[in-house]
Amino acid sequence: MRTKLLMAAALLATASHAHAANPLRDAIAKDMPSLIEIYRDLHANPELSFEEVKTAAKLAAEAKRLGFQVTEGVGKTGVVAVLKNGAGPTVMIRADMDGLPVIEQTGLPYASKVRGVSKSGTETGIMHACGHDTHMTAWVSTARQLVANKDKWSGTLVMILQPAEEIGAGAKAMLDDGLYTRFPKPDYAIAFHDAAQFPAGTIGYQSGWALANVDSVDIKVKGVGGHGAYPHTTKDPIVLASRIVTALQTLVSREVDPQDAAVVTVGSFHAGAKHNIISDEATLLLTVRSYSDETRKLLLDGIRRIAKGEAIAAGVPEDRMPVVSVNEAEFTPATFNTSPLTERVASLFKKQFGEQRVIETKPVMGGEDFSRFYLADKANVQSMIFWVGGVPQAEMEAAAKSGKPLPSLHSPYWVPDAEKVIATASEALTLAAMDLMKK
Ligand SMILES: [Zn+2]
Ligand SMILES: [Zn+2]
């Protein structure tokens, strides 16, 4: 730990040396002990989706102290903090608040020991394994810096804390609860996510599609059960479901345009109870990913067609065709970064952080319900989400040498270099907001 801190300090020193006068960076660095205290408290006390009660209360209090007009309970546990500062555009900055049902294994002195009950009813540990604690701390830091620099910008700042990102429901809940009608609607919506594949302090961005459509699909494959020794008297749902799994692989390889990205993953296959019984049902759980509406439709229609087609080929009776259900409540639409905003902000970042620290990255097949803030009013809202790398430099190098993969987001071992993520993200968010609301 100590060497890590010394190294981080040395890197920070080099960084500030490279860019001579940088009052914003200096102000954030000066505030870092207080920010790290907030971070460690959030990290040690994670709360699950839509249960972010204490988290929301702590941060709402901080925003009130800073002079924001604060409304709590927006979309169950969400918080909206508004600061009107003269004429000009409205900029919305979002952080998400929820932790995950993961038992933390980092061994950090401030590791979470919190336990709870997950949505599926199992008792579990809870951990900020996605780094939403860094998002919230950077949100506080950004609010502080924008208040301190109030004389340099003019417009309306809307800072929101979103619940339940991990279950893809929080953004929708806030919008359904009047985020764009009870509060100033943003011209620009901005957010960042920490990243487990980039070195700490690096910024990644992309114009256009950034994250994918995420669909959860259940397939109930019905058969006709019986004795394992007499298969000719049955319709084996395990053999049928296996064929469906295999045939599904051709959707991406044979039906989607090779230039278009798509994923069909069968993440769960459950059937049967005993060696010598042919069950009468098998259940498949799929995650289906795409960018465009057209590809999404092609995949979902294809899944229904393949399931039914394979059942017919297996001779399953008409009244026992597979049941394919797409879970619309859990759907997360693809995230789109509008290019005028993205290009403007990226060039600003390059000027501030240098070309090496700001890299254009490829879109990913993960999902983010930040997408909904743009989709709720595509004609009037521009939006951008960017990545801030969190992997400590030393670990990045060690992994490159050993070839051992680094922990990903959602891993019980994920430890971002919080200081660097918070410093970089809040400098970037503050800078972007001040530029968009320039006097
Ligand atoms: Zn996550
Ligand atoms: Zn996340």
Work out the pLDDT band at 119, boundaries 50, 70, 90.
confident
From the candidates 31, 52, 62, 98, give the one annotated as an active-site residue: 98
From ligand 2's centre to the CA of 166, what distance in Å? 7
- Is the pLDDT at 255 greater than 70? The verdict is yes
Predicted confidence (pLDDT) at residue 18 exceeds the cutoff of 90: no
What mean pLDDT value characterizes the chain? Answer: 94
Tell me the β-bridge partners of 161. Answer: 79, 95
Question: How far apart are the CA of 170 and the centre of ligand 1, in A?
Answer: 13
- Does residue 9 carry a pLDDT above 50? no
| Token pair of 260 as six digits | 């278009």
Distance CA 58, CA 246 (A): 50
Ligand in closest contact with the CA of 132 = 2
For residue 118, report the distance from its CA to the centre of ligand 1, in Å: 15
Residue 10 clears pLDDT 80, i.e. is over it: no
Model confidence over 120-157: pLDDT tens digits?
Answer: 788 999 999 999 999 999 999 999 999 999 999 999 99
Dump pLDDT digits (tens) for 345-404: 999 999 999 999 999 999 999 999 999 999 999 999 999 999 999 999 899 999 989 999
Relative to the alpha carbon of 96, which ligand is closest? Answer: 2
User: Tokens representing 111?
Assistant: 């590791």
Alpha-carbon span 80 to 5, nearest angstrom:
34
Say if residues 58 and 129 touch (Cβ distance below 8 Å).
Answer: no
Residue 26 is a catalytic residue: no
In the chain, what's the furthest Cα-to-Cα distance?
82
Q: What are phi and psi of 92, to 5 degrees?
A: -110, 130
Distances (CA, A) of 203 to 346, 387, 420, 425: 9, 6, 11, 8
pLDDT at residue 266 above 50? Answer: yes
CA of 103 relative to ligand 2 center, distance in Å: 16
Q: Is the pLDDT confidence value at 88 over 90?
A: yes
Would you list the DSSP string of 147-164? Answer: HHTGGGB-EEEEEEEE--
Model confidence pLDDT, tens digit, residues 166-175: 999 999 999 9
Distance 272 CA to ligand 2 centre (A): 35
- The pTM of this model reads 0.90
pLDDT score for 20: 60
Ligand whose nearest atom lies closest to the CA of 134: 2
Which token pair is 242?
């296996």
- DSSP for 7-33 reads HHHHHHHHHHHHS---HHHHHHHHHHH
Ramachandran area for residue 121 (φ above 0: left; ψ -120 to 50: alpha; else beta) = left
Where on the phi/psi map is residue 240: left (φ > 0), alpha (ψ -120 to 50), or beta?
A: alpha
Ligand closest in space to the Cα of 410: 1
Among 104-108, 213-217, 398-402, 426-430, which is the least confidently predicted range? 398-402
DSSP E strands, 272-334: 277-278, 281-290, 323-326
Q: Which of 165, 187, 280, 419 is catalytic?
A: 165
What is each CA distance from 271 to 117, 274, 304, 318, 325, in whole angstroms?
26, 10, 20, 21, 18
Dist. CA 409 → ligand 1 center (Å): 7
Q: Which residues surround ligand 2, an ion (CB under 5 A)?
A: 130
pLDDT at 4 (0 to 100): 42
∠ at Cα 385 (13, 167), nearest 5°? Answer: 115
User: Of 241, 434, 210, nearest to 344 (Cα)?
Assistant: 434
User: Catalytic site residue 343?
Assistant: no
The span from the CA of 287 to the CA of 102, in Å, is 20
pLDDT the model gives residue 407: 95
Instruction: Annotate 165-227 with DSSP letters as a single string.
Output: TTTT-HHHHHHHTTTTTTSPPPSEEEEEEEEEEEETT-EEE-SEEEE-EEEEEEEEEE-B-EE
Q: How far apart are the C-alpha atoms of 39 and 27, rounded to whole Å?
A: 18
